[in-house]
């Protein structure tokens, strides 16, 4: 594609040169010749009129001699590089600038026609009534007296002089055209640099993307549409690349998280079946198998929830419900776990009832995941505090623990699927790394946010917002 675009531009450039040349060689050439002829004719005609009104009139009025007029005409003819004739209306030559005055001989200008100049022109070009071999540019001015035409002053000059003047002017036009053509090369260079080269790079990049090389990066730094297009393409490629990486990691993580419990379940069951594990120890290992099965169920449920988000987003069933009540019931469900781990849950709730507008079941899940993490990562004999506050038509729920905390550089990553901090690995063998990403998806679907404030070794606080119900507003 890019090749033809460039060829088209070169073709247009050459056409521009050729047409420019043709225009100068035809129209401009004709115009120049016409203009030069007109200029020369104008000056000859004013000279002819001057002669008609002075020497010629004086001659016809017999105020000067034929001889002196001839001398004057000879001088003028030399000065103008032209031949001057005074002719009677009948065509009889009275005097001219070349021959000495002679009243005896009668020389006639054959087919003398003073009306030859016409069509808006005051001159005509031919061989001046057959008197010359070459082309002439001639003018005829009448000599008038007593309201009649008494004769004519004719001036005729070689047409070749006019043509050579026109040619030298045309040469300047050709020179101008060549300079313009060379200067317009700047446009070609400019086009090559700003459009063609970036376009070629962009095309190469798209070809690379088409074959799946999303790591390919474009280098177009111009601050214009091309640069913007290249930057957009780079961004698109990096996003696709990141998504692909995420996808790969996601599949690798699922495979890993499915394989390890399945391997241990298979191992224990085989050992029980082939008698490696004696009957008295079987219940202990069946307990491990049950715990692994629970982990698989949790993983499957988590994936199901995330899978449901799909491209259209999570479908919510919003109602007005009392968040305080949901918090109390979630806290109650952890009673046994808390007792085992010697962790207390403290509720600091705003008001008796606090209604929010959200999907109750999903928010229950959010709270469950947050409280589950808070207890899991708490030290024994510590307190998990759940607090609700109302501000600007929003209800903020905070789940705060004084457990192991989350390192600063990992705080953004914990919401990614399957992400577990290094700190937590020893403490939590059953975690799937999906809990917080489910929390984030649910809150995103509500158009709300979740933030984490945590200090390594001190504790963590997760705060999320929900809209206050219309009624409570």
Q: Quick one: which of 360, 358, 361, 385 has its CA closest to 371?
A: 385
Q: Minimal distance in Å, beta carbon 411 to ligand ADP? A: 9
Cα dihedral 333, 339, 341, 344 in deg (nearest 10): 80
Angstrom CA distances, 295 to 14, 194, 262, 298, 434, stand at 75, 59, 10, 5, 12
Least distance in angstroms from the C-beta of 250 to ligand ADP: 14
467 is an interface residue for ligand ADP by CB under 6 A: no
If one asks whether residue 431 binds ligand ADP (CB under 6 A), the answer comes out as yes
Interaction of residue 397 with ligand ADP, rule CB under 6 A: no
The set of residues, in sequence order, having a beta carbon less than 8 Å from that of 56 and lying 6+ positions away, is 69, 86, 143, 151, 153
How is residue 203 written in tokens?
């095309």
Please select the residue that binds ligand ADP; options are 56, 154, 386, 404, rule is CB under 6 A.
404
By CB under 6 A, tell whether 432 contacts ligand ADP. Answer: yes
**Can you tell me which of 161, 420, 463, 472 binds ligand ADP, judged by CB under 6 A?**
420
CB of 203 to ligand ADP, least distance (A): 43
Q: Which is nearer to ligand ADP, 254 or 286 (CB)?
A: 254
Q: Candidates 406, 442, 443, 450: give the one binding ligand ADP (CB under 6 A).
A: 406
Binding-site size for ligand ADP (CB under 6 A) equals: 23
- Between 41 and 443, whose beta carbon lies closer to ligand ADP? 443
Site string for ligand ADP, 311-350 (x = CB under 6 A): ----------------------------------------
Out of 32, 57, 70, 421, point to the residue binding ligand ADP (CB under 6 A): 421
Choose the stretch contacting ligand ADP; rule: CB under 6 A; options: 77-85, 160-168, 323-331, 427-435: 427-435
The whole-angstrom separation of Cα 254 and Cα 322 is 36
Closest to ligand ADP by CB, 431 or 467: 431
* The token pair that represents 392 in the structure block: 């600007």
Choosing from 303, 435, 442, 468, the residue that interacts with ligand ADP (CB under 6 A) is 435
**Spatial separation of the C-alpha atoms in residues 168 and 174, rounded to whole Å:** 10
Options 63-71, 74-82, 160-168, 398-406: segment touching ligand ADP (CB under 6 A)? 398-406
Q: Residue 149 contacts by C-beta under 8 Å, 6 or more apart in sequence?
A: 89, 142, 143
Euclidean distance between CA atoms 76 and 97, whole angstroms: 8
261 near ligand ADP, judged by CB under 6 A: no
For residues 117 and 124, is the Cβ–Cβ distance under 8 A? Answer: yes
**Shortest gap between Cβ of 1 and ligand ADP (angstroms)?**
48
Determine the 3-state secondary structure of 349 from DSSP: coil
Closer to ligand ADP by CB, 141 or 404: give it: 404
Q: Where are the alpha helices (DSSP H) in 310-359?
A: 323-333, 335-341
Among 374, 386, 395, 468, binds ligand ADP (CB under 6 A): 374
Q: Which of 257, 292, 322, 401 binds ligand ADP (CB under 6 A)?
A: 401
Q: How far is the CB of 420 from ligand ADP (least distance, A)?
A: 3
- Rounded to an integer, what distance in angstroms lies between the CA atom of residue 406 and that of residue 349? 26
- Round to whole Å and give the CA distance between 406 and 426: 14
Separation between Cα atoms, residue 115 and residue 142, nearest integer Å = 10
Burial (CB count <10 Å: 0-12, 13-18, 19+), residue 290: exposed
Contact set for ligand ADP, span 130-159 (CB under 6 A)? none
Q: Determine the Cα–Cα distance for residues 182 and 16; give it in Å rounded to an integer.
A: 12
Separation CA 155–CA 56 (nearest Å): 13
Which one of residues 32, 57, 460, 465 is an interface residue with ligand ADP (CB under 6 A)?
460
User: Could you tell me which stretch among 6-14, 174-182, 264-272, 366-374 binds ligand ADP (CB under 6 A)?
Assistant: 366-374
Residues that bind ligand ADP (CB under 6 A): 369, 373-374, 377, 401, 403-406, 414, 419-421, 424, 428, 431-437, 460
């Amino acid at each position: 594609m890019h090749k033809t675009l460039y060829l088209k531009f070169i073709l247009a450039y050459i056409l521009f040169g050729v047409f420019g040349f043709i225009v100068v060689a035809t129209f401009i050439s004709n115009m120049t010749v016409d203009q030069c002829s007109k200029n020369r004719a104008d000056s000859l005609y004013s000279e002819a009129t001057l002669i008609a009104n002075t020497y010629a009139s004086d001659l016809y009025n017999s105020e000067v001699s034929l001889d002196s007029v001839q001398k004057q005409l000879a001088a003028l003819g030399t000065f103008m590089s032209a031949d001057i004739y005074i002719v009677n209306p009948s065509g009889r030559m009275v005097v001219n600038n070349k021959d000495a005055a002679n009243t005896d001989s009668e020389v006639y200008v054959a087919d003398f026609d003073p009306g030859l100049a016409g069509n808006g022109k005051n001159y005509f070009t031919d061989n001046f009534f057959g008197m010359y071999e070459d082309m002439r540019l001639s003018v005829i001015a009448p000599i008038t007296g007593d309201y009649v035409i008494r004769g004519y002053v004719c001036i005729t000059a070689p047409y070749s002089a006019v043509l050579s003047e026109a040619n030298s002017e045309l040469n300047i036009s050709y020179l101008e055209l060549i300079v313009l053509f060379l200067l317009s090369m700047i446009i070609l260079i400019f086009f090559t640099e700003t459009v063609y080269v970036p376009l070629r790079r962009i095309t190469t990049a798209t070809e690379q993307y088409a074959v799946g090389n999303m790591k390919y990066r474009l280098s177009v730094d111009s601050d214009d549409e091309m640069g913007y297009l290249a930057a957009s393409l780079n961004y698109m490629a990096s996003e696709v690349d990141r998504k692909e990486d995420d996808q790969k990691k996601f599949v690798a993580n699922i495979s890993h998280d499915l394989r390890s419990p399945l391997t241990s379940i298979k191992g224990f069951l085989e050992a029980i079946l082939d008698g490696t594990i004696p009957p008295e120890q079987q219940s202990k290992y069946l307990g491990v198998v049950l715990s692994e099965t629970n982990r698989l169920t949790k993983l499957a449920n988590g994936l199901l929830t995330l899978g449901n988000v799909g491209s259209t987003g999570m479908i919510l069933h919003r109602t007005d419900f009392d968040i305080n009540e949901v918090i109390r019931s979630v806290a109650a469900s952890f009673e046994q776990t808390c007792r085992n781990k010697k962790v207390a849950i403290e509720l600091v709730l705003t008001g008796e009832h606090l209604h929010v507008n959200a999907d109750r079941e999903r928010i229950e899940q959010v709270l469950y995941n947050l409280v589950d993490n808070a207890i899991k990562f708490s030290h024994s004999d510590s307190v998990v505090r759940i607090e609700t506050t109302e501000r600007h038509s929003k209800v903020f729920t905070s789940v705060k623990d004084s457990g192991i905390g989350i390192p600063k550089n990992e705080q953004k990553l914990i919401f990614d699927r399957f992400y577990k901090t290094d700190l937590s690995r020893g403490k939590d063998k059953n975690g799937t790394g999906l809990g917080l990403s489910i929390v984030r998806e649910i809150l995103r679907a509500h158009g709300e946010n979740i933030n984490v404030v945590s200090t390594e070794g001190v504790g963590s606080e997760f705060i999320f917002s929900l809209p206050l119900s219309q009624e409570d507003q």
